[in-house]
């Protein structure tokens, strides 16, 4: 059995080397420890980074943990990366992403019905970016593909889980990152609209 100090150090190293959120179950297996114990250590590290005002923070995504930069340091990152620019999602991509996030699991025809325009290329682009994925087929006529958001979506927009997606009424109240603001601006769409109402 490893000491608490050794396990916390190991978790930091594994998160750094893994590059993506490290699942609690994988870390527990490697450390030969119980998942609850490892989850508690992750949370302890997360709190330490926040309390000490570190430039690197730990974010929980579902039941996994990974490194992210402190949001208040964004201005320094932008200066460092200039003139390299991060390509933002298009209006159409944000619109489709918002529909998938709030209606998932959802088919392409349902997305098209809500938008009133074909979305095939936009959906393909979001899949390439790893923000949505095909998770199966509907039981409906023709068994169309169904789409859902990914862990990368949660990571990019700063959510721990889908439960963190705010209610529509909360959007104007919450403090948001630029990426979240872009996504939230799409919620003017009537998500309950059906083909009969087109």
CATH number reported for the structural domain that contains residue 150 in this entry: 1.10.10.10
Please, are residues 31 and 38 in contact by the beta-carbon 8 Å criterion? yes
If one counts the domains in the chain, the total is 2
Length of the chain: 198
Tokens of residue 153, six digits:
């979506």
Q: By percentage, how much of the chain surpasses pLDDT 70? A: 80
One domain, residues 17 and 43: yes
Q: How many helices (H) and strands (E) does the chain have?
A: 9, 6
One domain, residues 99 and 68: no
Q: Is the overall model pTM greater than 0.75, yes or no?
A: no
Integer Cα distance of 92 and 79 in angstroms: 28
User: How remote is the C-alpha of 194 from its chain's centroid?
Assistant: 27
Integer Cα distance of 5 and 179 in angstroms: 36
Q: Is 42 helix (H, G, I), strand (E, B) or coil?
A: helix
Please, are residues 134 and 149 in contact by the beta-carbon 8 Å criterion? no
Query: What contacts 187, CB < 8 A, 6 or more positions away?
Result: 98, 102, 168, 171
What pLDDT, on a 0 to 100 scale, did the predictor assign at position 166?
A: 73
pLDDT per position as a tens digit, 57-96: 999 998 999 999 998 888 888 777 765 444 678 888 988 9
Domain for residue 151, yes or no?
yes
What pLDDT, on a 0 to 100 scale, did the predictor assign at position 163?
A: 84
Low-confidence stretches of the chain (pLDDT < 70) are 82-87, 167-198
Residue 48, domain extent: 4-74
What pLDDT, on a 0 to 100 scale, did the predictor assign at position 36?
A: 96
């Amino acid at each position: 059995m490893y000491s608490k100090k050794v396990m916390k150090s190991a978790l930091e190293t594994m998160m750094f080397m893994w590059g993506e959120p490290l699942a609690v179950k994988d870390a527990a297996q490697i450390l030969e420890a119980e998942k609850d114990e490892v989850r508690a250590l992750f949370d302890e590290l997360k709190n330490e980074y926040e309390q000490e005002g570190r430039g690197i923070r730990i974010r929980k995504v579902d039941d996994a943990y990974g490194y992210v930069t402190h949001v208040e340091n964004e201005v320094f990152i932008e200066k460092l990366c200039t003139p390299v620019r991060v390509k933002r999602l298009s209006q159409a991509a944000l619109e489709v992403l918002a529909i998938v996030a709030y209606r998932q699991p959802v088919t392409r025809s349902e997305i098209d019905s809500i938008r009133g325009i074909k979305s095939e290329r936009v959906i393909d682009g979001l899949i390439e970016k790893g923000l949505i994925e095909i998770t199966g087929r509907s039981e409906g006529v023709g068994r169309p593909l169904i789409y859902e958001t990914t862990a990368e979506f949660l990571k990019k927009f700063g959510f721990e889980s889908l439960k963190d997606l705010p209610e529509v009424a909360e959007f104007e109240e919450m403090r948001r990152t630029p990426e979240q603001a872009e996504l939230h601006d799409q919620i003017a769409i009537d998500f309950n609209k059906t083909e009969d109402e087109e």
